[in-house]
Amino acid sequence: MITQSQESLEMLVMVSRLLSSKLDISELLTTIMRLASRVVGAERASLYLLDEKTQELYFDVALGLPEDVQKMRFKLGEGIAGTCAKESRSIIINDVASDPRHSKKADSKSGYVTRSLLTCPMIIKGKAIGVVQAINKSDGDFSDTDKNSFEAFASQAAIAIENSRLFSSVKEEKRKMEIVFKRIKEGAILTDVAGDIIILNNSAKTYLEHDKYKFTNIKNAFSDFETKPGIDAVLSREEAVSRLELYREKPKKFYLDCSAIKLFKEDKDGNSTVEGRLWILSDVTAQRIEEHMARNFLSLISHKFKTPLACINGYAQILRDEAAAKEMPDLVLKSSETIYGQGQKLNTLVESLLDFVTIDGLEAASLEKIEFDAADFLGEIAADMKERLKAVEGLNIKIAAPDTVMVKADRKLLAGAMRSLIENAVKFNPGRDKLVILSTQARDSHTLISVGDNGPGIPGEELDNIFHKFYQVEAAFTGQVEGWG
């Protein structure tokens, strides 16, 4: 008995090693079939897997069975195998002919005579995923010792099958991800937390000349580029998504817009930790060159307009004043006032254009940041805009600043931005009563300053476009309002 138990133990150890070395599901199932009969000294073995959708058992591997037998399926509760799977318990039958549960479908089609059966469920997480069956004990009857050994084997087989399925699933998902990863137009780089590159697609290889430099770390990948902000600053940021721009002067100007996206994983307690980053690279060279040319052009025409406009406005003012003083005909007086008014409007637009060119070319280091009280600032803006827009009927500008909030910003530039927002709030409001509310509050260690109004608002589909330069919502919505956008 001791010798038999020792042999069974040695057999199970060998089986465990063999099963744990197989990850390919087809090879694993064939190995299980070949080993199952040896574990308990049976003539042959069968392996059924459970189809989760139909709740039927089927032969995934059927060694030596006719084709029509291999296609057979058994419902849960049908035959010994179906009963074993349904009840999730092992069954020993040493006289199959006298057991009414035995289904003779397989024997009748294969011509094989089944005398005895040892059937064990393969269970994972309390659910049967299939059944393994030893057929016809070679010497004597199946015993409880055989059952214990076969249950241990079935348990190892179930774990091996589950691991193989998980491996196959991960492998398939990896294959799909690689296909998508390689086919997307933008450059894509996957790195670990330290910045070491795991995989990069063909676009990224082309942009960064991977075949030439053979880099393995993201810092080395960007070594030929000027990065704003620096790569070390991006790697140390807490934000989930960071933006940076890469620029290379030679052999030709080349601009890349980059988004660095943190990838998280959850532990068993639900805590998230960073496991890497996905870097998305977009070629924006044409866009940046076009913007540079447009900025230069706008700057040029703005300065060229200033001198003739100064002359036009100066003489228009003289004509208007002379016409009024000498009581000239109404046509002359009205014409001179129109010329002067339109000249002033054009002068305002040119000044706005010059401000845009100046602001668009600003670097962060050139901002004149000072700390000031947000409520006082909004009060000054409101007073200034009431004076500027005094001709607008029904205008009411209110301030909502219940708490003292300090702001650190370039006050002059922020004031210009606020004026533009208020002008738009008034300009695009078709109602007779135009309400504008300026508010401020502290939020998440930052200061929130907002401009609200009782106008029609901005359609949801347009929100992503409002920061595009010179963009204006279609005329049918805005009422064809004058302005640069």
Q: What is the pLDDT of residue 403?
A: 86
Q: Do both 268 and 241 map to the same domain?
A: yes
Taking alpha carbons only, the member of 244, 250, 247 closest to residue 231 is: 244
Average pLDDT of the residues in 241-247: 92
- If 0-12 CB within 10 Å is exposed, 13-18 middle and 19+ buried, where does residue 418 land? buried
pLDDT of 186-239, one tens digit each? 899 999 999 999 989 889 999 999 999 999 999 999 999 999 888 988 888 888
pLDDT of 360-415, one tens digit each? 666 777 788 899 999 999 999 999 999 888 888 899 999 998 888 899 998 988 99
Q: Is the pTM of this model over 0.75?
A: no
Q: What is the pLDDT of residue 18?
A: 59
Amino acid at 169: S
Average pLDDT of the residues in 60-77: 72
Q: Do both 404 and 260 map to the same domain?
A: no
Confidence of residue 271 (pLDDT cuts 50, 70, 90): confident
Q: Do both 139 and 21 map to the same domain?
A: yes
When mean pLDDT is compared over 25-29, 195-199, 332-336, the highest value belongs to: 195-199
Q: What single-letter DSSP state applies at residue 45?
A: E
Q: Do both 236 and 90 map to the same domain?
A: no
Q: What is the pLDDT of residue 297?
A: 79
Alpha carbon distance 71, 75 (integer Å) = 13
Q: Do both 223 and 351 map to the same domain?
A: no
Q: Do both 370 and 419 map to the same domain?
A: yes
User: Residues of the chain with pLDDT > 70: what percent?
Assistant: 88
pLDDT of 417-470, one tens digit each? 899 899 889 988 888 899 999 999 988 888 899 999 998 888 888 887 777 766
Q: Do both 225 and 240 map to the same domain?
A: yes
Domain span at 255: 184-283
> For residue 476, is pLDDT > 80?
no
Alpha carbon distance 218, 341 (integer Å) = 58
Bridge-partner residues for 279, per DSSP?
A: 189, 260
Taking alpha carbons only, the member of 255, 258, 184, 248 closest to residue 213 is: 248
Q: Do both 238 and 151 map to the same domain?
A: no
Average pLDDT of the residues in 313-335: 85
Contact 255, 247 (CB under 8 A): yes
Alpha carbon distance 338, 73 (integer Å) = 92
Q: Do both 70 and 154 map to the same domain?
A: yes
Q: Do both 84 and 143 map to the same domain?
A: yes
What is the rounded average pLDDT for all residues in the chain? Answer: 83
| Number of domains present in the structure of the chain | 4
Contact 158, 47 (CB under 8 A): no
390 Cβ neighbours under 8 A, 6+ residues apart? none
Residue 485 lies in a domain: no
Q: What is the pLDDT of residue 10?
A: 55
The CATH number covering residue 413 comes to 3.30.565.10
Q: Do both 305 and 278 map to the same domain?
A: no
Q: Do both 9 and 106 map to the same domain?
A: yes
Average pLDDT of the residues in 250-261: 92
Q: What is the pLDDT of residue 285?
A: 92
Q: What is the pLDDT of residue 480?
A: 46
Burial string for 178-187 (b: 16+ CB within 10 Å, else e) reads eeebeeeebb
313 Cβ neighbours under 8 A, 6+ residues apart? 340, 343, 344, 347
Helix (H) or strand (E) holding 399: strand 395-400
